[in-house]
Structure 1
Amino acid sequence: MKYTFLPVVFILGSLFLAQVLPEETPVNNKSEVFVLATLYRRHNSTPVYNLDTLKRIISAIDPQVFVLDVNPKELKEQKVYPSKIEYPGVIFPLVNEMQRPAYAAEPPEPVFTEIVQAVIKAHKEFDSTRADASRSLQQYTGSLFNVLKIVWQTPADVNGQRTDKALAGKRALEDQLIGPVDIDGDRRWTQNIVNVTLQAANAHPGKRILVLIGIENCHGVRAALRAQNGIQLVDMEQWLRRQ
């Protein structure tokens, strides 16, 4: 009997702890990192993920730190490109109301302009030298998002693995067609987001960090953060399904 008592006690204790601990518990004072997609203007045409829904999700997460899809100048001035309707509509008002630290995930100048201009130039060259392929890619992108809007029945679907895989496939096709400048720009952009997120985690250990990123970059950011041992990446899809 003495050989089985301790294992039984251990198992019962483990079961008890599993019941009383919250579903997402920070491990070893690691920051919990939530990567939540934003849709820019597509929020207006996506009822299941409109601005009111985005606001409710952010409020439910109750982040202690924000990492935003803006550059440092935009964060300071709280002015963004007109397409990013979620920022004046939801995100900046919440940041101001909640009075939480906010980090700019996009590169500072001059790196921001360097990457953006190089990618724009590569896309323009692709449009002019391979016009048929460019039109096909644009049609594919439009059709893909039309299909995704049909598939998206809940916010969890928007932030789910199927969406990430679909948009990762789109990115792979773009990289192959447009070439190394596009690949390098995406790599540097994603790495900057990861670096800023880790900087925020180091400055605020054990805190809930919300990374708000345009949906087409979410798959790359989630994959890169998943490989980081210093944080606890929350499964956004599963977290949303539990709400």
Structure 2
Amino acid sequence: MRLNRLLLTFLLAASFGHAPAFAADGEAPKPKVFVVSTLYKKHETTPSYDLPTLRALIERLDPDVFVLDVTPTELRERTVWPGKVEYVQVVFPMIDARGATAYASEPAEPLFAELSGPSTAAHVALEKERPAVRAALRDLDAATYAALAVHWRTPEAVHDALTDRVVGANRDLKNRLVGPVAETNQRRWNEHHAQRLLEAAARHPGQRIVMLVGIESRYEVMRLLADASGIELVDVADWPAAAP
């Protein structure tokens, strides 16, 4: 049975052009995984983590494989929601220039609508029924990211434990005030991200994988991946010390 699993791993990797070099004990080496935060349009107003800085960070991580928070259709067609400026300006061109393999971690339909539709409706209802609460959340969001921008002097700081705590608390409070559907669907969304990453990792033993997710998902995705046995999860905040 163990031999069959090893043979399946080899065949999967070879089918994607990445036949692994096996470790001394016969097991394929674990892929090295980096989960990188993106800011969408906030990249344009955050000098310490603007699009050239994001590009330089990804180049330093030198991925063989990308896992992206876009849908399969968006990845295939190279078109995304307009707010995701990093994909059109940085990520898709990098993938094409490198000839890298890429996977989408956002759900395809009908799951996309199943998760996003009720959450959007809950936000609309909050705006209509409790406009003062919705306004307070917008103010909180603006203040949170303005303060974080001061803290972020390096790309590593964008990924540090303090940032995770601040972003996580901000997101959790927003979801709590919007309602249970936002909390539940956000959790399911992040679980989908993590599952797609693990599926990609199984296909690419021994490879370097960069996963890009919005900053409000990263902290939970990292938590979900922390105990996964099939990957070597490297925190970007610790990368200079962990290199190469």
Report the TM range for the smaller structure's normalisation. Answer: 0.7 to 0.9
2:179 is the alignment partner of 1:179: yes
Poorly superposed stretches of 4+, deviation over 6 Å: none
Match of 2:52, SS state, is: helix
1:28 CA drift (Å): 6.2
In the TM superposition, what are the counterparts of 1:101-120 in structure 2 within 5 Å?
101-120=101-120
Report the counterpart of residue 147 of structure 1 in structure 2.
147
Match of 1:32 in 2: 32
1:223 is aligned to 223
Q: What is the TM-score when the length of structure 2 is the normalising length? A: 0.86
1:129 aligns with 2:129: yes
Give 2:232's aligned residue.
Answer: 232
2:170 is the counterpart of 1:170: yes
What is the distance in 2 between the residues matched to 1:227 and 1:191?
A: 14
Q: Which residue of 2 aligns with 1:92?
A: 92
Match of 1:153, SS state, is coil
- The alignment partner of 1:70 has SS state of coil
- 1:60 deviates by 1.1
Paired residue type of 1:232: E
- Residues 61-80 of structure 1 correspond to what in structure 2 (within 5 A)? 61-80=61-80
CA displacement at 1:119 relative to structure 2: 0.7
5+ residue gaps, structure 1, are 1-26
The 1-side partners of 2:124 and 2:240 are apart by 38
Q: Is the 8 A contact 1:156 1:241 kept in 2?
A: no
Q: Per-residue displacement from partner, 1:203-235 (whole Å, max 9, x unpaired)? A: 111111100111111101111111212111102
In structure 1, C-alpha distance between the alignment counterparts of 2:114 and 2:105, rounded to whole Å: 16
Measure, in 1, the Cα distance between the counterparts of 2:157 and 2:133: 30
Q: Is the 8 A contact 2:28 2:205 kept in 1?
A: no
Secondary structure, in 3 states, of the residue corresponding to 1:193? helix
CA displacement at 1:175 relative to structure 2: 2.3
Q: 1:200 is matched with which residue? A: 200
- Given that residues 155 and 240 in structure 1 are in contact (C-alpha distance below 8 angstroms), is that contact kept between their aligned partners in structure 2? no
Contact 1:31 1:206 in 2 (8 A): yes
Q: What is the percent sequence identity of the aligned residues?
A: 39
Q: Residues of 2 paired with 1:223 and 1:182: CA distance?
A: 19
Distance in 2 separating the partners of 1:238 and 1:179: 35
Please give the alpha-carbon distance, in whole angstroms, between the structure 2 residues aligned to 1:40 and 1:178. 22
**1: CA distance, partners of 2:176 / 2:214:** 21
Match for 2:190: what amino acid? T
CA contact (8 A) 2:176 2:182 kept: no
Question: Partners of 1:58 and 1:171 in 2: how far apart?
Answer: 25
Provide the rounded CA distance (Å) in 2 between the counterparts of 1:201 and 1:172. Answer: 29
Could you tell me which residue of structure 2 aligns to residue 159 of structure 1? 159
Which secondary structure state, in structure 2, belongs to the residue aligned with residue 66 of structure 1? strand
| Secondary structure at the counterpart of residue 63 of structure 1 | coil
Q: Note the C-alpha offset of 1:240.
A: 4.5
Shift of 1:59: 1.0
- CA–CA distance in 1 between the matches of 2:217 and 2:38? 10
What is the letter of the counterpart of residue 131 of structure 2?
A
- In structure 2, distance between residues paired with 1:103 and 1:96: 13
Which of the pair has more CA radius of gyration? 1
TM-score by length of 1: 0.86
Task: Give the distance between the partners of 2:148 and 2:99, measured in 1 at CA.
Answer: 34
C-alpha displacement of 1:57? 1.1
Tell me if the contact between 2:190 and 2:217 (Cα under 8 Å) persists in the aligned partners: yes
Q: Contact between 2:119 and 2:182, CA under 8 Å: does it hold in 1?
A: yes
Residue 20 of structure 2 is matched in structure 1 by: none
RMSD: 1.4
What secondary structure sits across from 2:232 in the alignment? strand
Matching residue of 2:210? 210
Alpha-carbon distance in structure 2 between the residues aligned to 1:225 and 1:57: 21
